[in-house]
Amino acid sequence: MQAQLKEVDDKLDVGFYANFRAAVDLAKNAFSMQQSGNRQASAMAAINRFLEAQHIYTDLIDRQMPHKSAAIAPYLQTLYLAYLMEARCYLELEELEIAVKRFQFGHQETNKRLRQYVDILLTDKPIIYLHPKLSPEVDLTRLTRIFQWRNQAKDMNENMTFELLRKTLDLDANYDVNIGYWIDALPQPSCPSPILREIYSA
């Protein structure tokens, strides 16, 4: 039963992704067509698909958030791109005010979900990211930049970050066991969305 449900979910995900790819293709056509009427028609068709994608991927993210799924990362990337491409289409239509409003709305919607996902990645014991086993992939400078963004504190320095992290360290008789458990429990990073790699390389 679980295997069948996973197969259904995979097929749905592929279907959503295919629809999003079609929207990207429509947008690319709109940007390259010579006739104004054709550009407008293609841009509007792309906008409709991007709007649909925004609803779908927002729902997927919200459903996966309680499960701390690695799928959240590519879903977030796709959602970001859907809002960005929608705004770009409105620019093509010379609807500057709507483009700005949709871009700002998209930033708001994706940013609050990104913050939830960053909190999941940091866990309730973020100091574990300073463990030697995670070097050199993670260092204090990188963590400081994350906390600057997360706390909206550009003046936050590495010493302040270290003090913040140290407060999350809870030493007890099971110290060694806890360290091993914390490392094993860290969320696994997810690879970038294939559609993003394709768009960025275009």
pLDDT, one tens digit per residue, over 38-85 is 999 999 999 999 999 999 999 999 999 999 888 899 899 999 999 999
pLDDT tens-digit series, residues 2-35: 554 454 455 557 778 888 888 999 999 888 888 9
Question: What pLDDT shows up at residue 42?
Answer: 93
Residues 6+ apart with CB under 8 A from 20: 49, 50, 53, 78, 82, 195
pTM: 0.76
Q: Torsion angle, CA of 93/98/104/107, rounded to 10 degrees?
A: -50
Question: What pLDDT shows up at residue 87?
Answer: 96
Question: What pLDDT shows up at residue 118?
Answer: 93
More confident residue, 168 or 149: 149
**Does residue 99 carry a pLDDT above 70?**
yes
1 confidence band (pLDDT: 50, 70, 90): very low
Q: Are 113 and 65 in contact (CB under 8 A)?
A: yes
**Does residue 175 carry a pLDDT above 90?**
no
**Does residue 117 carry a pLDDT above 60?**
yes
What is the pLDDT averaged over residues 127-152? 88
